[in-house]
Amino acid sequence: MDFWRLFGYARTCFYSHVSTIDLPAKLSDKPINLLDFCKQITPVCRLNPLLFNGHLQTFWTTVKSYDIPIFYKRYVFSAEEPAFAGTFAVDFVVKAYQGADESLPPRTAYYGDAEFESVGSMDTRPMLVALHGLSGGSHEIYLRHVLRPLVDGGGWEACVVNSRGCARSKITTGVLYNARATWDIRQVVKWLRKTFPNRPLLGIGFSLGANILVNYLGEEGDNCELKAAVVCSNPWNLEVGSIMLQSTWLGHEIYSKEMGTSMRRLFEEHVNELSKNSKVNVERVRKINYLYEFDRELQGPTWGYPTEGAYYRDASSCDSLLAVRVPLLAINAEDDPIAVKQAIPFMEFQQNPFAVLCTTSLGGHLGWFETGGGRWFAKPASQFLMKMAQDIDVDTLSNSASGGDDVASSTPPFFNPMRRKLQVAC
């Protein structure tokens, strides 16, 4: 064990292309290199010394911590793409109000139709689009740790795209979301660009939401409307992660079992709708114990994958990373027992000058607990977003750096990182 870990000090490392892109500064003629930018906004990682390994950091996420009040108004969108028909819920951060809807997560209520129709604005405040982790939602505390410094006095607006069926939302078709379900965030970003034409849009994803976000960034490529993004605890290579979880008792009997149980509960919440899908065997799904069994019995059949391995390989974001064309900061803990180190695409980060990976030797899965209850990852994540919006001319960056010859030449002409086996619209 690293000696300094006993005192809560975590080693921080950065991985990137040998020459990351230059970011044009608003108040200076001298641009700043993306890697240098990421190093500057990343504080020393000193965590709670009592939580001295990834398992303890991860277990502590289940312990009730101090509250971070964020208020939301929800609007239910109808999918515009016929291939992904159905509805999905987006929660918008709003000022504190009295009363809430008991059918929704805490501090959440529905927008009235007339109220929602008037939300458009010509202001230039930055807007954050957030994606939560597996079976989570806008109510998750790890998400609110990042939202708070941005929306409380930071001048930001924010919204959370809830995966279909999550955060007490209803599904209206016979399928749940999956690990490459990029269609809902794509629709939301297009709507935001139309509704708030002057706002810079930035993104953040957590765990499975991080995987979805990187897939989205890769699919959009040069045309991405998001100006920059952060991903935290991305599992990256889902097949490697699944294999590693099954290789240890803790991984199999604790983590995979707990995630499988949470997805089975989600299934039961929507069983009336899901049972209408002829490809769903309700009794087989109800018997599952582990996450990979859930993916085998539900995700595979409903999305057309013959095995959970085929699903994992197709939905993983490690190849999508190569096609990202906006500044991206990824934060992973090397001792994460769920988004394991073996699944992190270190070499792919060295191939894309638009991306920087920051790893810490301690932190667990969406943990990074500091003494006092704060979470370290919220500091570099929020600082990256805030400084990117305040100090960097993101519009000039989009026009000058995206799709440069050096980037294009990094990928051989016979390899397309976004070539998918499941044929869906992108």
- Supply the pLDDT for residue 398: 62
Q: What is the CATH number of the domain that holds 233?
A: 3.40.50.1820
For residue 136, is it within any domain? yes
For residues 49-84, b (16+ Cβ closer than 10 Å) or e, as one string?
Answer: eebbebbbbbbbbeeeeeeeebbbbbbeeebeeeeb
For residue 310, is it within any domain? no
pLDDT at 403 over 80: no
SS3 65: coil
- Supply the pLDDT for residue 153: 80
- Supply the pLDDT for residue 8: 84
Q: Are residues 333 and 363 in contact, defined by beta-carbon separation less than 8 angstroms? A: yes
Sheet holding 226-232, edge to edge: 12-16, 355-360, 328-333, 226-232, 201-206, 127-131, 157-161, 87-94, 71-78, 108-110
Residues contacting 355, CB < 8 A, separation 6+: 16, 17, 20, 321, 324, 327, 328, 329, 330, 349
Give the chain's mean pLDDT: 93
- Supply the pLDDT for residue 351: 96
Closest CA to 127 of 202, 186, 47: 202
pTM comes to 0.95
pLDDT digits (tens, 9 = 90+) for 284-323: 999 999 999 999 999 999 999 999 999 999 999 999 999 9
Domain count, the chain: 1
pLDDT digits (tens, 9 = 90+) for 158-207: 999 999 999 999 999 988 999 999 999 999 999 999 999 999 999 999 99
| Spatial separation of the C-alpha atoms in residues 94 and 70, rounded to whole Å | 8
Tell me the mean pLDDT in the region 9-20.
97
- Supply the pLDDT for residue 412: 57
For residue 299, is it within any domain? no
- Supply the pLDDT for residue 100: 80
pLDDT at 410 over 60: no
SS3 379: helix
For residue 258, is it within any domain? no
For residue 78, is it within any domain? yes
Identify whether 28 is a catalytic site residue: no
From the candidates 169, 207, 242, 320, which is the catalytic residue?
207
- Supply the pLDDT for residue 401: 54
Categorize the per-residue pLDDT at 278 as very low, low, confident or very high, splitting at 50, 70 and 90. very high
- Which tokens in the block code for residue 102? 């008991």
> Range of 199's domain?
3-237+316-404
402 exposure class (CB count in 10 Å sphere: 0-12, 13-18, 19+): middle
Find where tokens 């929704």 sit: 104
Q: Are residues 269 and 369 in contact, defined by beta-carbon separation less than 8 angstroms? A: no
Q: Write down the H helix ranges in 152-281.
A: 183-195, 208-220, 238-246, 249-250, 257-269, 271-274
Tell me the mean pLDDT in the region 368-393.
96
Q: What is the DSSP string of 344-378?
A: --HHHHTT-TTEEEEEESS-TTTT-BPTTS-BTTH
For residue 120, is it within any domain? yes
- Supply the pLDDT for residue 418: 86
For residue 216, is it within any domain? yes
From the candidates 169, 336, 361, 398, which is the catalytic residue?
336
Categorize the per-residue pLDDT at 384 as very low, low, confident or very high, splitting at 50, 70 and 90. very high
From the candidates 17, 55, 270, 365, which is the catalytic residue?
365
SS3 174: coil
For residue 342, is it within any domain? yes
DSSP state of 252: I
Identify whether 207 is a catalytic site residue: yes
Categorize the per-residue pLDDT at 231 as very low, low, confident or very high, splitting at 50, 70 and 90. very high
- Supply the pLDDT for residue 396: 85
Identify whether 233 is a catalytic site residue: no
